[in-house]
Amino acid sequence: MVAEMPDATFLPDFLEFRAHERPDSKAWIYLDRSWTWTEARDSVRRFAGGLKAEGINRGDRIAFLDKNNPAVLQATLGGCLVGSATAIINWRLAGDELDYIINNSGARILFVGHEFADAISLIRDRLTTVEKVIMVGGDSDEYESWLAAAAPVARDPAVTPDDVCLVMYSSGTTGRPKGVTLTQHNLVTHTRNSGGDIDYNEGDILLIAMPMFHVGGTSYAMFGPATGTPGFIIREVDGQLLAGAMMAGATHAFLVPAVVAALIQAGPQVMALFSRLKAFSYGAAPMPLPILRAALEAWPDTTFMQVYGMTEMAGVATILDDAAHHDEAHRERLVSAGKVIPGVEVRVVDPATFQDVETGESGELWFRTEQATPGYLNNPDATAELLTDDGWLRSGDVGRLDDGGFMFVEDRVKDMIISGGENVYSPEIERVLAEHPAILELAVIGVPDDKWGESVKAVVAFHPGMSATPTELIAFAREKLAAYKCPTSIDIVEALPRNPTGKILKRDLRKPYWADRERQV
């Protein structure tokens, strides 16, 4: 460890500590530019001053739409000083999804990466809460001059650790995205407790590749100031950008299994390049065993760590550590999600009776932790479904615990599909496809995919005398949904299986595809 993780009450405290301890060492590396810890701290204070000058105060919200960029971190941490919250928007979303989320966030200022200027211009008149749009990067950059003109400020004394500082949108079972609110205390607690057995030493570099609209991107980036490790930030998960980061000396990375599958497909030379990693963390989707075994073989000197968690818990809740990856006496635990981290409790609950089940039996996984969200933005009903009165968070995942406390995730109560680390909810897709005039009924399920973990499949039945091709239906979905949410395959059937009460039996639809799989998610 470069230094002991400092005490922190507020999220920017880690950065403040490093600015005093290592003022001239590198903090962020991005494109052809770098920031020292002092420069990073000053830019965060300046961002806070810019917000104050715009009339943004404690309890207000801003939004950021861009690929990975230190400016996203400046916004997140700068907002913490003011007491405002930053909604980081998924840049892969389609237009009608963007305006819904931005309006739902209540953002008063919208920061937009130059690549997305056209998308925002098309919906600007529908953004009812946005008072100002500031372009970031490119020929029309307004951000750098806005930041330079701002007077730096320290933290507002009225700010508390329980103030919401981050809003991340996760698709909901109602078919509309939900804004997960996270407080400074949630994120500080997560940063302190979720590092596992990973070491950080002088000369190490943290590769920040996961999109920052994903909790695995933003929360992972916080390990930089917490451990005093510089972050090498790449715009997106791209083969050339990843290789460039490795050539530049990246030693620690968090990636989703789909990326590892792509590296394996790229060949032994690429895998050898990534064998330089000292520590490799993965999560957001299960790692297929053939891919995991290939990575373990190709990277014998790398420390492996699998994480399981949720945006609603600021990220990580359980860890499968390196020792468990190499435990020959319990090879079955390679498909587990590991054990809960410090500060997290877990129960396995019968979803019908709400009673704990016996060890080894399956039920819904419930967690209790100070990392847990205070709730969904503007959605008390969904919050009540998520959180119990005594502080337990219902994950919606079905799993079990073995006699060693290792957690196995087996299925999902909710209709969530995890494709390439992205959470996709079938009701959202069903809501769009149901608008097609030929479709009588449909169901969307996740099916195994060796590259992405799961892919989206729609099973449809048509109105009598009507039809459409799978290609036409996929194109129809792409007009209204981000590409990663759209079905990649469509089965056409006469009728969908239903139970006596009329509910579509998705489990029956999934069975043929998952029958020979070791994991059911």
The token duo for 360 is 């080894």
Look at residue 246 and tell me if it is in a domain. Answer: no
Pick the closest to residue 281 from 221, 230, 225 (CA basis): 221
| Total number of domains in the chain | 2
Average pLDDT for 260-274: 91
Where residue 417 falls among pLDDT bands split at 50, 70, 90?
Answer: confident
How far apart CA 90 and CA 97 sit, in angstroms, is 10
Look at residue 274 and tell me if it is in a domain. Answer: no
Pick the closest to residue 486 from 415, 419, 397 (CA basis): 419
Among 104, 133, 159, the domain-final residue is 159
Look at residue 192 and tell me if it is in a domain. Answer: no
Percent of the chain having pLDDT more than 90? 76
Q: Which residues pair with 381 in a beta bridge?
A: none
With 60 as the cut, is the pLDDT of residue 174 above it? no
Cα 410 to Cα 29, 245, 258, 335, 456, distances in angstroms? 39, 35, 19, 10, 18
How far apart CA 261 and CA 283 sit, in angstroms, is 13
Average pLDDT for 403-425: 81
Look at residue 486 and tell me if it is in a domain. Answer: yes
Look at residue 82 and tell me if it is in a domain. Answer: yes
Among 126, 159, 192, the domain-final residue is 159
Domain holding 43, by residue range, is 31-159
How far apart CA 111 and CA 59 sit, in angstroms, is 18
How far apart CA 58 and CA 229 sit, in angstroms, is 30
pLDDT of residue 414: 66
Look at residue 183 and tell me if it is in a domain. Answer: no
Residues 68-84 pLDDT 10s: 999 999 999 999 999 99
Among 110, 130, 159, the domain-final residue is 159
pLDDT of residue 175: 62
The H or E element containing residue 363 is strand 363-369
Look at residue 303 and tell me if it is in a domain. Answer: no
Residues 114-165 pLDDT 10s: 999 999 999 999 999 999 999 999 998 999 999 999 999 999 999 999 999 9
Where residue 345 falls among pLDDT bands split at 50, 70, 90?
Answer: very high
Within its chain, how far is the Cα of 216 from the centroid?
4
With 90 as the cut, is the pLDDT of residue 420 above it? no
Average pLDDT for 399-422: 84
User: Could you tell me the CATH number of the domain that includes residue 445?
Assistant: 3.30.300.30
User: Could you tell me the CATH number of the domain that includes residue 146?
Assistant: 3.40.50.980
Average pLDDT for 487-505: 81
Residues 293-338 pLDDT 10s: 999 999 999 999 999 999 999 999 999 999 999 999 999 999 899 9
The token duo for 17 is 């500590």
